[in-house]
Amino acid sequence: MNIRKWLAGGTLCTALILLLLNLSTAQSSDENSLPPNSVYQLQVSIEDQFGEITGLDRYRGNPVLITMFYTSCPHVCPMLISTIKLTESRLSADERAKLRVLTISIDPQRDTPEKLRETSERHHVDSMRWSMARSQPGDLRSIAGVFGIRYKQLADGEFNHSTLIILLDRDGTPLASTEQLSRIDAEFLQAIESSL
């Protein structure tokens, strides 16, 4: 075999392999790219009720309902949870199976994974689809900011906070929101159904 032909063939083969690798990388980065208005662009970490640490995009690929709460809240937060459960109850079993829920604590010092897990169990939420999580204080402000949720700790340790429930599409783009508690927001429910 002529060594020049072998080297030339090897060079061509190497060039083809490199070209295929570049195309593959370009395609996978296109598949992984997010829309510019996706909240998943925010690089933060959250810890769920089982101590698992992920990003805000933990449910990417599914529509997600997101709200912010705290476990020792005596009135509004239980209403937020029951409103989400009430809304979910209007979906078929197949639709519910596609929907995810993420509730993020505004009181990460007190809301340990154990406390989040107790709250999850007390409200009988489906932990396969529903996460109660906390974040670091600096990340928490960023998360609240990206969702337009306001909160302020009071002198007695309680919080004043927004009661916003937000629907995200599969790539983390906000689609709809509601502040209606203890009843079905028909437009919000329709937006959820359309996203599934």
List per-block mean pLDDT (blocks of 10 residues) for the chain, which spans 196 residues.
47 39 42 88 97 97 98 95 97 97 97 98 96 95 95 93 97 98 97 98
Query: What type of residue is 103?
Result: T
**In DSSP terms, which residues pair with 167 in a beta bridge?**
65, 176
What pLDDT score was predicted for residue 97?
97
Q: What is the pLDDT of residue 138?
A: 87
Question: What is the four-CA torsion angle of 116, 181, 55, 49, rounded to 10 degrees?
Answer: 10
Whole-number pLDDT of residue 32: 75
For residue 43, what pLDDT is reported? 95
Phi, psi angle pair for 134, to nearest 5°: -135, 165
Concatenated DSSP letters for the chain?
A: --HHHHHHHHHHHHHHHHHHHHHHHHHHHHHH---TT-GGGS--EEEETTS-EEETTTTTTS-EEEEEE-TT-SSHHHHHHHHHHHHHHTS-HHHHHH-EEEEEES-TTT--HHHHHHHHHHTT--TTTEEEEEE-HHHHHHHHHHHT--EEE-TTS-EEE---EEEE-TTS-EEEEE---SS--HHHHHHHHHH-
Q: What is the pLDDT of residue 12?
A: 39
Q: How far apart are CA 149 and CA 75, in angstroms?
A: 18
Which pLDDT score, from 0 to 100, does residue 21 have?
A: 40
pLDDT computed for residue 195 by the predictor: 98
Q: What is the pLDDT of residue 159?
A: 95
Distance of CA 156 to the CA centre of its chain: 30
The reply to whether the predicted model has a pTM over 0.85 is: no
Nearest CA to 123 out of 25, 36, 49, 47 is that of 49
CA nearest neighbour of 180 among 90, 67, 48, 72: 67
